Structure 1
Amino acid sequence: MIDKLEMFIAVAKEGHFGRAATSLGITQPTLSTGIKHLEEQLGVQLIFRGSRFGGLTPEGQTALIWARKIVGDTRQLREEMRFKRHGLSGQLRIAVIPTALTWAAKLSSRFSDAHPNVRFTILSRTSVEILSMLDNLDVDAGISYLDNEPMGRVSTEPLYEERYMLVCAEGSPFAGRSTVGWDELVGQKLCLLTPDMQNRRIINKNFAAAGVMPEARIESNSTVVVMANVEAGDWLTILPEDMANFLAAGKRLKLVPLSGAESAHTVGLVAPYRDPHTPVLGALLREAKRLSAVN
């Protein structure tokens, strides 16, 4: 039944039979047959469908909660048995907000040094996407904001607190300053992350708290793009300190602290709540705690 539950989870996630089949590497007829057999085994209709996917029935909504739990528990059992046979090994999939990718590298590097038989897949995603991927069992953990969006029932380990920096060219009027106020950026050529990024929403809140709302003339979901624009011209961007330092290294750029911001936001490791965690995920949470820069 586990394979059929995984099919059901994929259909609920994709909202489309064809895309769900592709994500599982099977044909659409095989998927449809699997869902039909699952409905027969459970004695209820799970999905409204005519010529296309029409959403989950009320019974399907309830079944989805159980399907995620059963599949998650099954995967945990497999991990436990692998640990008994081979020690810490396998694959960890982690989704990370773009501004925390340097911390993902620190965590995965340290963990890999201690546990070389564990492989990592690290994906850049928004905070909203990370929560969805955790719910759908698409990743094992995430690195995201811990205090700025509803997280649900999860295990967390704080890693660091964001401190925002203005990034400008060496010739900018702001380059020699010790600090810059958020309200001083009105009318400046700003290149910022897109509004779907939680980092951008936090930046907007800081501007609003200062009584202003400057316009970003260039927006991107890539930190590399916003930094490249600053390097190429007289643009300004705002990034968390660690990511700004990493991207500005070796470039003719200056980082200036922004003053008058709201209290710092905590970023950390997020994992689905389980008691106990799989051995690999438990070890990752402990490593995050050792790495943490949060007092």
Structure 2
Amino acid sequence: MLFRQLEYLVALARERHFARAAQSCSVSQPALSEAIRKLEEELDVPLVRRGRSYQGLTPEGERIVLRAQRILADRDALRDEVGALRSGLTGRLRIGSVPTASGAAALLTSPFCAAHPLATVELLTDLRSTDMERRLRTFELDAGITYLTDELGDGFQTVPLYQERHVLLTSAVDELADRPTATWAEASRLPLCLLSPSMQGRRVIDEVFAEAGLRPEPRVETDSVAALFAQVRTGRWASIVPYAWLHVFGVPHGMRAVPLVEPSRSVPIGLVISDREPTSVMARALARTARQLALASVLEQLPGASPE
């Protein structure tokens, strides 16, 4: 059995298409198909349901893919470990972030890169929390930045980073703009643009509204926090955004960021890595960087960080 055969099987399970899997592995489709066929012969079990097109993996194939993902992750971890012993940390750190936390991600990746100049970072910032958890379990990511809530499953180590709170982002001419705080009830009566309902960041906002007995109906919904800022900039809409995003944009000209109260609510955001042993050397290094940071204190200095 060769690592290459396992890589091809994992790629096929991920892409669900022979041609795309071959392209992702930089080989021809016949070469990928033949390697998987030989793996089936060696294991003496069918792995792929074949037809005129890809029909999915057999039950045996699904089980073996999980093993293959673990074997390949351990191989990569071994390479990184040896490389770190020889010349310092090298390789690629893969981080996923929920959109609401991606504005603060640079506060973590920048010191990591400074501490490990030979390492590179790939940051995916548009992942839903469920997608991130799945990619961490299948070793497609080394770490994630997400909500530390009961929705997070077992099998992870966490490093708390900061508490997410929300501000009302509105036009400077709105009657609430010059107030020190605004209530969620007052915000609910404005023409709102919010994150999409499928996103955990939106579910957090909906829970706060529900706690106050409110159910606003936004006219515009999006999967991008940056798009919320763009919508408010038109002067037509108001929005509710995580205050940590003010680290990226500040409070743009013509807008105001007003802390929200009644109720006051915060949700922990943190770094998440697999709890498996041995832990990826990349994940360990990032967790060490996160523990050394005072990220929360940096964000607390932003306007809208806490009600006055």
With structure 1 as the length reference, what TM-score do the two structures score? 0.92
Extract structure 1 runs of 4+ deviating beyond 4 A: 292-295
Distance in 2 (CA, whole Å) between partners of 1:213 and 1:21 is 48
Partner of residue 178, structure 2: 176
CA drift of 1:262 comes to 6.8
Identity %: 39
RMSD: 2.0
Q: Distance in 1 between matches of 2:59 and 2:90?
A: 39
Shift of 1:3: 1.4
Instruction: Establish whether residue 206 from structure 1 lines up as the match of residue 208 from structure 2.
Output: yes
Mapped partners of 2:171, 2:250: distance in 1: 10
Give the equivalent residue in structure 2 for 1:19.
Answer: 20
Using a 3 Å threshold, how does the CA distance of structure 1 residues 261 and 17 change in structure 2: closer, same or farther? farther
- Residues of 2 paired with 1:227 and 1:11: CA distance? 39
Kept in 1: contact 2:183–2:261 (CA 8 A): yes
For 1:74, the equivalent position in structure 2 comes to: 75
Secondary structure in 1 aligned to 2:152?
A: coil
Question: 2:117 corresponds to which letter in structure 1?
Answer: P
Contact 1:192 1:219 in 2 (8 A): yes
The answer for the alignment partner of 1:279 in structure 2 is 281
Gaps of 5+ in 2: 298-308
Partner of 1:225: 227
Indicate if the aligned counterparts of 2:96 and 2:143 stay in contact, CA closer than 8 A: yes
Deviation at 1:251, TM superposition (A): 2.1
C-alpha separation in 2, matches of 1:215 and 1:21: 45
Matched with 1:143 is 145
- Post-superposition shift, 1:96? 1.2
SS at structure 1 position matched to 2:219: strand
What is residue 239 of structure 1 aligned with on the other side?
241
Q: How does 1:118-137 map to 2 (within 5 A)?
A: 118-124=119-125, 125-137=127-139
Native 8 Å contact 1:172 1:234 kept in 2: no
Q: Structure 1 pair 178/220, CA: closer, same or farther in 2 (3 Å)?
A: same
Cα displacement (A) at 1:82: 0.9
Q: Please list every run of 5 or more consecutive structure 1 residues that lacks an aligned counterpart in the other structure.
A: none
TM-score (normalizing by structure 2)? 0.89
Alignment partners' CA distance in 1, 2:296 and 2:251? 24
What is aligned with 2:196? Answer: 194
For 2:37, give the aligned amino acid. K
More deviation, 146-155/187-196:
146-155
Is contact 1:145-1:267 (8 Å) kept?
yes
Offset at 1:292? 4.8
Q: What is the distance in 2 between the residues matched to 1:258 and 1:30?
A: 58
When the two structures are aligned, how many residues end up with a matched partner? 295
Q: In the aligned structure 1, how far is the partner of 2:107 from the partner of 2:87?
A: 25
